[in-house]
Chains A and B, each alone.
Chain A
Amino acid sequence: MPATYTLIATASVGGLTAGTFSSIPQSYTDLVIVCNTRVTSTSDIQAFQVNGAGSGYDVIYSESTGQTTGTGTAQISYRVNYIPGTSQSGVWDTSIYHLLNYSQGNTYKTLLTQGAAAANGGFFTQSTVSTYAGATTAVTSLVYGTANGSTYAANSIIRLYGILAA
């Protein structure tokens, strides 16, 4: 069986607010990011930036409870899922992100969010389509962090996988 779904890196982010997957191999077709995280504050929002870029992101999103949908432009990062914290005891984010065609050098990069956390109340499950339109260069690094500076709880992990169309 070909290695079509390969773990590239695991980030143990407990105690941190941000970090970077650097030197991402360019040999896969797509990237998948799996988050299993909490924060030590009330809650926060997971954020990603490609190649360290801090502007040029837009988004379309739909949330669960509350039925909120919306769009945004000129964001500072991909807008993705909420991370539960002290307001949701024992609940962990289990979001999955797909970054398609990340090594192609002539298209803007889109992140698809399948966000989900088992929070009883609140809009902790989301679907978003978010595009970085600042540059078309290949994604060689990916910054992850909490949008509002919260600290990830102990045992939080973020994994980066490569998908190969073999």
Chain B
Amino acid sequence: MAMTLIQRIDVTSSASANYTFSSIPQTYTDLLLVTCAQGAGSNSDGNFVWINGISTATYSGNMLRRTINAGNDGGFAGSSSYIVPLCYSAGQTSFPSFAGNGWCYFPNYTNTNINRGYNSIAGISPNVSTTNAQMIIHGVGNTTTAAITSILYSGYALNLASGTTLSLYGIS
């Protein structure tokens, strides 16, 4: 067994902010989502993930963040209907050809005895000295104990631009 590509989404237009991996196999130990994203707009944006279509205020997060001009700003800790940024996208207008890169790891995603939790690391460095250049490590959780059967990846306020790639792997 190994690291197996379950599905890759190649964004070919800038018509939507949201893309969903559905009917995720329940045969792996962990899941890994790898993203290389641009937003169809100006500034970079904080993309997020919903699991199993859950959009209620049942997510919580704890972030370590460093920006290029403000150092370690203490990040964010809180709860919401979504937790951003999980990964980043760079706005195609202001930062052409710069993508935000990230990966998000979902351990033990089929165990129905515990709340879901996941771990992401993401960064963007579009050759500027503003907060648009930053990196994060983020712990996110949801109160559901259901196994993860679908993952929605959202560009938040921006549609995802053509050229964005989203790859979901199974780890076993």
Contacts and interface: CB of A to CB of B under 8 A. Distances in A.
Interface residues of B, number: 42
A64 B62 contact: yes
Interface string A20-42: 00000000000000111010000
Interface string A83-127: 000000011111110000000000000000011111111101111
Contact of B115 (A5, A66, A91): A91
A34 to B, nearest CB: 5
Contacts of A10: 29
Contact of A94 (B1, B111, B113, B139): B139
A10 B30 CA distance: 12
Contact of B117 (A94, A120, A154): A94
A34 B30 contact: yes
A136 interface: no
A28 to B, nearest CB: 12
Contacts of B138: 116, 125
A96 B29 CA distance: 14
B42 interface: no
Contacts of B115: 90-92
A36 B1 contact: no
Chain B interface secondary structure, helix, strand, loop or mixed? strand
Interface stretch (B33-41, B47-55, B70-78, B148-156): B70-78
Contacts of B121: 114
Nearest to A38: B114
B88 interface: no
B129 to A, nearest CB: 20
Contacts of A35: 107
Interface residues of A, number: 44
Contact of B77 (A1, A62, A122): A122
B79 interface: yes
Nearest to A156: B114
17 contacts: A3-B2, A34-B105, A64-B65, A64-B77, A94-B107, A95-B119, A96-B105, A116-B119, A116-B139, A118-B141, A119-B77, A120-B60, A120-B62, A120-B79, A125-B75, A125-B138, A127-B137
Interface of B: 1-4, 29-30, 59-66, 72-75, 77-79, 83, 105, 107-108, 111, 113-115, 117-121, 137-141, 143, 171-172
Interface of A: 1-7, 10, 34-36, 38, 62-67, 69, 90-96, 114-122, 124-127, 154-155, 157, 159, 161
